[in-house]
Structure 1
């Protein structure tokens, strides 16, 4: 689900919401919360957009997200959550990494990648999660997370991780996060993955890519 920034204070198209937001006057919070459960998807979408103006809307947006079936409304909810940001939003997004909906999970990862300072305190816990899928999602977050510790976190995964799928994901991310300083640890890792052909191939390719980039520089 590709997110697009939405313009707030957009006039609603349904009769109910038009009555609630007369003229150019911004609707009040209680009106928006009520319309977040409107039977009409376009009204829910409008309400979700407008709630980006109210920081205390975060729990209500997550509640609606968990039951929302319309993709455009989901997108509006996510855009408002991204705009609001903050610890409560990050914690709520992390909780949705367990969603059965792949679209929800992917959008959560995309948003978390844009909130490096808020996400940073949670990364190590995610990388140590008992569920290997969550560890993989954490590595996916690192892929585009603009945080100076991202390479260090990835290197820790490479040194400690035992699950082959998680380790494989971490090796793949070396293409974006690998640095010449990692080469001694990566060369040492080769012995661990020598008996797993696809991991050995991926690691060799990552090391070669890092060396080529370093030599070109």
Structure 2
């Protein structure tokens, strides 16, 4: 008679020894942000997403980073973290002399409507008119219910014609009937500015056609 091999006993889950995911070496990753090799900095910026309180170091690296691919990953990580330090760092980048970094930071801030909203009034009242223009540019794609009100505040109170012109262009796209009277008042306030007259008339026309 043939021998019957006894069945192999099942291994209980508790007996399985599966390899655990190694923890990120956050201090090492932070150090690698200063590595002379772009690929090392790029991987570090990506993996720091798993390290708490790394936004400040990423911002510091971003402000001096010259490699486009590394900068792109740093910006992506800051957007995904989206904490107050990340937002403050992106705002700091708006003051950079590097036009490309400013534009990249604007695009990054557009992706953080809830995090940016609490500081938007502060940005729109910045002493630097360029910063106020950048803030309006952020509003262009910022999905937030206060966008129209912020723009109306700009065209009602901002003394700089270029800031108001930027806001008027956007109001023509997102404005409602609530913006009609402020737009007419803006025309009166800048009666000698041909572009304001043109842009305000265009915005009024678009709103009335909706």
Same fold (TM over 0.5): yes
| 5+ residue gaps, structure 1 | 1-23
Shift of 1:185: 2.1
- Following TM superposition, by how much is the alpha carbon of 1:62 offset from its aligned partner in structure 2, in angstroms? 1.1
Distance 1:170 1:88 in 2: 27
**Is 1:143 matched with 2:140?**
yes
**1:201-216 correspondence to structure 2 within 5 Å:** 201-212=198-209, 214=210
Runs of 4+ in structure 1 over 2 Å off? 24-27, 187-190
* 2:96 corresponds to: 99
Find 2:25's aligned residue among 24, 28, 33: 28
SS in structure 1 at match of 2:34: coil
TM-superposed deviation, 1:181: 2.1
Unpaired segments ≥5 residues, structure 2: 1-20
Note the C-alpha offset of 1:49. Answer: 0.6
Whose relative contact order is higher, 1 or 2, with alpha carbons under 8 Å and at least 6 apart? 1
Shift of 1:175: 2.5
Name the CA distance, whole Å, in 1 between partners of 2:160 and 2:185: 18
The alpha-carbon deviation at position 26 of structure 1 amounts to 5.3
Q: CA RMSD in A?
A: 1.6
Determine the structure 2 residue equivalent to 1:39: 36
Q: Distance in 1 between matches of 2:157 and 2:205?
A: 22
Aligned partner of 1:109 among 106, 109, 112: 106
2:47 is aligned with 1:50: yes
- Give the alignment's TM-score, normalised by structure 1: 0.83
Whose helix proportion is higher, 1 or 2? 1
How many aligned residue pairs are there? Answer: 191
Kept in 1: contact 2:156–2:185 (CA 8 A): no
Correspondent of 1:131 among 128, 141, 156? 128
SS in structure 1 at match of 2:204: helix
2:9 corresponds to which residue?
none
- Which one of 131, 138, 163 corresponds to residue 166 of structure 1? 163
CA contact (8 A) 1:136 1:169 kept: yes
Correspondent of 1:155 among 152, 172, 188: 152
Please state how far the C-alpha of 1:61 moved relative to its aligned partner.
Answer: 0.6
Aligned to 1:10: none
- The alpha carbon displacement at 1:190 in A equals 2.2
Counterpart CA distance in 1 for 2:27 and 2:193 is 57
